[in-house]
Structure 1
């Protein structure tokens, strides 16, 4: 009998899964790599990424309960992935990341929040069904994976409810069940307010300044600038933006572009003039030991003559003049 036309009893489903279990486990490892890489490429922070494959007895009892005509496609979570993200807005980003991944195909997106009755309190999860054609199941169809995406608040509620209510003692009083249902309103409020608060922070000018500082400090580590003063970096960049009348996001973009275009010059300055170089003088050479070296070099490279005109007579002139000497920036040094 062709496997596609077979009547799948719980016993035959169990036995066929045992036969293919090693294939499912290899598929799980492949899905784990694909999902983690997709999240990383989209710069999505997660608090949990966990995959699991149903057990042999789990497959047996599932078919016993559901009586699927084709358990290999109808039982969506033979391989299941759970992704937990900090913010509700991150859930859409996870969906987008999986949709643009070339190694998988998104078959279905089920967002239960969109269809639940507004008059009732009910958990609304996001499920994304994906398939990778690298591994075929018992009926020669690609082995699928069900991806469940939750926020931290949703995950905390769902795990607790699952253990103490869904899988808990039978016959719990109505008041106990209602307690867990009411908590869903708080979960929704927490997620909504977190998104609102984060958006407010991100839209502020202070956050742009913060991003610039964090970017400069993290990027500087690539050039072995590690033991530096954060307060000096913050003060230098604050004063620089104010004197130049420049936007922090614009300076971040300019710095990023310069670092990618001319890393060799940065390495040379750090190695010959930085904190570990022979003859380093902290009073005159400190700029070579600090992360603000990167935006300073980017600005000096962009338009040295205009830069000198803007900072001449300020306390920032001397470190830029020193940097201009090291890089032989004639546009800055010439009268």
Structure 2
């Protein structure tokens, strides 16, 4: 159990992570609004952010067998600050990823692609650990932020799986595990089907736009008399 003074010290340390979350959220908002302005399309449905509590950080350090210190937290716990980006389609997930890693002040230090390579239970998401600079009044800090990119369908499955898992902890019946995995497969199929539907709609839209373009007018040649 952490006393009040220790909680205050950790809360002060976590201020930098809060600023890092603000920075990442601003970047995502700008990118999304730029695409809306240029292409009339939003790849990002919504963004969620969270910061681990001091108690949660201490518990994770203890599970790792590490001494409880702010230095160990910064070095060994990479998901103190977390951002979850929900997209409509899998193509949007990778598009947003490309936009994030192309930012000059963003360093991607870890990538785990659970979309191309789902976890055994069916979980899908694209996980990044990035590092960005935070400019404070007396120093510059480089702060790690975890970003999870997933589709609406993936997020729906992951949220419900999380709730079910914590009802059973490590004692989940095999029948429920199998049903969750089967549901994840259905979610994956739904994502692929919706992407195909989106591409078909886009194809029709492009054809309509081409049809609206004025026909090329050939210049009239002077008649010979």
Q: TM-score, length-normalised on structure 1?
A: 0.53
* Post-superposition CA distance 1:44-78 (Å, at most 9, x none): 43222111111121112121222357331331111
SS of aligned partner of 1:245: coil
Structure 2: distance between partners of 1:143 and 1:95:
18
Structure 2: distance between partners of 1:52 and 1:188:
26
Is the Cα–Cα contact under 8 Å of residues 134 and 141 in structure 2 kept in the other structure?
no
Q: 1:26 to 1:80 in 2, by over 3 A?
A: same
1:333 paired residue number: none
Of 84, 89, 106 in structure 2, the residue corresponding to residue 82 of structure 1 is 84
Structure 2: distance between partners of 1:307 and 1:146:
59
SS of aligned partner of 2:82: strand
Is the Cα–Cα contact under 8 Å of residues 108 and 128 in structure 1 kept in the other structure?
yes
Could you say which structure has the higher strand fraction?
2
* Structure 1 alignment gaps of length 5 or more: 1-9, 213-236, 247-305, 310-335
2:223 paired residue number: none
Is the Cα–Cα contact under 8 Å of residues 78 and 145 in structure 2 kept in the other structure?
yes
Q: 1:108 to 1:135 in 2, by over 3 A?
A: farther
Shift of residue 121, structure 1, vs aligned partner: 5.0
* Structure 2 alignment gaps of length 5 or more: 37-41, 221-225
Q: 1:307 to 1:130 in 2, by over 3 A?
A: farther
1:98-247 → structure 2 map (5 Å cutoff): 98-116=100-118, 121-135=121-135, 142-165=142-165, 167-170=166-169, 171-203=171-203, 206-208=204-206, 212=209, 241=213, 244-245=214-215
User: Which structure's CA Rg is the greater one?
Assistant: 1
Structure 2: distance between partners of 1:121 and 1:132:
32
Q: 1:131 to 1:39 in 2, by over 3 A?
A: farther
Shift of residue 146, structure 1, vs aligned partner: 0.6
Structure 1: distance between partners of 2:115 and 2:43:
22
Structure 2: distance between partners of 1:22 and 1:125:
27
Question: How many pairs does the alignment contain?
Answer: 205
SS of aligned partner of 1:71: helix
Of 11, 30, 33 in structure 2, the residue corresponding to residue 18 of structure 1 is 11
Q: TM-score, length-normalised on structure 2?
A: 0.77
Shift of residue 189, structure 1, vs aligned partner: 0.4
Q: 1:114 to 1:61 in 2, by over 3 A?
A: same
